Amino acid sequence: MQMMSKEKAKRYYRNMSQLIFNQEFRTEQDCYEWLFKNRWPGGFRCPFCSGQEYGRISTRGLYQCKSCRKQISLITGTIFHKTRVPLLKWFMLIHRMASSKTGVSINEMKRELEIKDYKTVWVMAHKIRKAMADRDARYSLSGLVELDESFFGPAGSGKRGRGAEKKQLVIIAVSGWKHTNGTEHPGFAHAFIAEDASAETIEGLLRRLGILDIQMEPFIKAIRTDGWRSYEKIAEKLGLIHYRAVLGNPKDAAKILTWTHQLISNAKAVFSGPHRGVSQKHLQRYLSEVCYRFNRRFWNREMFDRLLTACVSTDTITRNELMVGSI
């Protein structure tokens, strides 16, 4: 490919990706074939007896091993488990969620996928978000980590004073990486809803993200914050270097803590756009989507393949579990 501007390259990849999708996935069978190849890249292998001979029981991805006679479903252990929606529609939604910058509108997808029930599409999107969150949960933060807090909440709750109470506190952590020329750039991000910004809460978070064990050398070596006393306490307790960005005016935070604020502004765009009015109960999953996208912002074309792989590598979440917000 010839040199092209960054903007042009972005458009090229997005169009190309849609084109490839439409060519590769035309029928239900194409989707099952993708699942088959993803599960058994070297050909069928029975998970029970390692047999390699199989019979096809149904066109919906059900196989039977010829040696032990056990049945294997391609969609068990994936987010498609027990779905009644055709896989092609799932794949289309995954593709749209992977290529969109701020997330998709459920109403729009409902029309595109020709699914009558709003809730069905809503649940599908949340299952995909869960796959995103599960995938990112595997990654630790390391080196220098920038930390900051922000508030997100239902639209319209921005009334002064009382309104602020309705918003949910979110802690954002972004680790950096060093370019060979010595400049530092934001790398991987996590964002979590939190009850408070106490030292205990933040310590728990850091332990989960990159300080595995007191005996082990921590992945996280240093933190950069606005100097809030909770951070001060934790840095001391965990023996981390603490860079305090001293803020005269809180509005300057975006200029000094640029990594976390890049993520915060992405999230604000999502919550003022396609996902306006997200309830606190589901906020974490939308944040996971924002982080997933942020963490893969340079991938472009690979996004769909990676997200599809994440979707078939994780268990599903049921509609009931979603409603009670247990995950």
- Interacting residues with Zn ion (CB under 5 A): 46, 48-49, 51, 65, 67-68
Q: Please identify, using beta-carbon distances, which residue of 27 and 67 lies nearer to Zn ion.
A: 67
Residue 77 vs 204, nearer CB to Zn ion: 77
CB of 49 to Zn ion, least distance (A): 3
Close Cβ partners of 7 (under 8 Å, ≥ 6 residues apart): none
- Measured from the CB atom, the residue of 14 and 45 that comes closer to Zn ion is 45
Which DSSP state fits 217? P
Helices 303-311 + 28-39 axis angle, to 10: 80
Q: How near is the Cβ of 256 to Zn ion at its closest, in Å?
A: 60
Q: Shortest Cβ distance from residue 76 to Zn ion (Å)?
A: 15
Q: Which tokens hold the place of 225?
A: 């914050």
Distance CA(256)–CA(244), nearest Å, equals 10
CB of 63 vs Zn ion, minimal distance in Å: 10
* Minimum distance, C-beta of residue 46 to Zn ion, in the bound complex (Å): 3
Which of 65/206 has CB closer to Zn ion? Answer: 65
Q: Which is nearer to Zn ion, 49 or 137 (CB)?
A: 49
CA atoms within 13 A on the CB side of 84: 3
Quickly list H helices, the chain: 6-24, 28-39, 87-99, 106-113, 118-136, 162-166, 199-210, 229-238, 253-256, 258-272, 280-295, 303-311, 319-324
Degrees, nearest 5: CA angle 234-206-262? 105
CB of 77 to Zn ion, least distance (A): 17
Helix 106-113 × helix 87-99 angle, to 10°:
140
- If the CB atoms of residues 55 and 158 are measured against Zn ion, the closer one turns out to be 55
